[in-house]
Chain A
Amino acid sequence: MKRLTLLLSLAAWSAWAAPAAGPTDPQIAAIVVTANQVDIDAGKLAKSKSKSKQVQDFAQLMITDHTGVNKAASDLITKLKVTPEPNDISESLQKGGDDNLANLKTLSGAAFDKAYVDHEVAYHEAVVSAMDKTLIPSAQNAELKALLVKVHPAFEAHLAHAKDLQATLAK
């Protein structure tokens, strides 16, 4: 059930409406910060709980990279004097992240690694899709749009890395 809730949350995010009805810049700011924080939290749990060095290394990379993106986003938000505006999507993301953590805490060993990495694949697929279809096209401020464009390749690389790890764990 928790996994179903999570997948519905990710699907809702990635399927958000077309740019004409898309989020405002303050809403995008809230979505970006929440999306990164959710993955940082999952990474911290995985780093402390997994026994696999590959999973731990991946988790540390997620913590480092998403913390960096969030710092850049926070610096820009401060500079632009934008107040992040929580919205249905950012709240859905937060709930999905909370559900994921709750689910992961019940698992251990190989089952934990699989659940964590499977979620990372689904999460990054949703993020990349949302950036392409909604966040980048909807961003009005040029600097905010530029930041999203700049970090987009990192999310794609994370997705590829997560898929490689998923394939390795399945062997």
Chain B
Amino acid sequence: MLSSDLASGGTAARVLSLLCLTCLMGARAAEPPNRVTIEAMTYQPQSLTVHKGERVVWVNKDPFPHTVSAPNGLESKEIAPNGTWVYLARKAGDFNYHCTLHPTMTGQLTVR
């Protein structure tokens, strides 16, 4: 009986832990994404720092396409006017990105 209770308790604790983990993951997934607005040929903010596991969304408010491109891992392809691109930051590092269509446009994403 005792061992059965202990076993049940262990299972309950594991279930509870899983639930908590799920809650935490859910909470992170439900967080509003970090937003970068692309407008008037600039990324705003020009520099952004996020944590691993967070999402970043770029929103193109210009009337023509842009890209978010960095040689070490970012590639949005063309983001249409009023379009968005969401990136899940899985890898830590500094990403110095630019628009391949308009190379004068640059931005920086740091993932910690």
Contacts and interface: CB of A to CB of B under 8 A. Distances in A.
A157 B64 contact: no
Interface in A144-164: 149-154, 157, 160
Interface residues of B, number: 13
A68 interface: yes
A69 B42 contact: no
Contacts of A157: 41, 102, 104-105
B65 interface: yes
B7 interface: no
Contacts of A65: 64
A3 interface: no
Interface in B40-97: 40-42, 62-65, 81
B40 A68 contact: no
Contacts of B81: 68, 71-72
Contact of A69 (B41, B63, B65, B102): B63
Interface in A71-129: 71-72
Contact of B40 (A67, A69, A150): A150
A160 B41 contact: no
Main secondary structure of the interface of A (DSSP, over half): helix
Contacts, number: 37
Nearest to B101: A61
A160 B62 contact: no
A157 B66 CA distance: 13
Interface string B18-51: 0000000000000000000001111000000000
A140 interface: no
Contact of B41 (A67, A68, A72, A154): A154
B63 A72 contact: yes
Contacts of A149: 40
Contacts of B42: 153
A119 B104 CA distance: 22
Nearest to B64: A68
B69 to A, nearest CB: 15
9 contacts: A64-B65, A67-B64, A68-B63, A68-B64, A151-B62, A153-B42, A154-B62, A157-B41, A160-B104
Given A64-B101, A68-B64, 18 more contacts: A61-B101, A64-B65, A65-B64, A68-B65, A68-B81, A71-B63, A150-B40, A150-B62, A151-B40, A151-B62, A152-B40, A153-B40, A154-B62, A154-B64, A157-B41, A157-B104, A157-B105, A160-B104
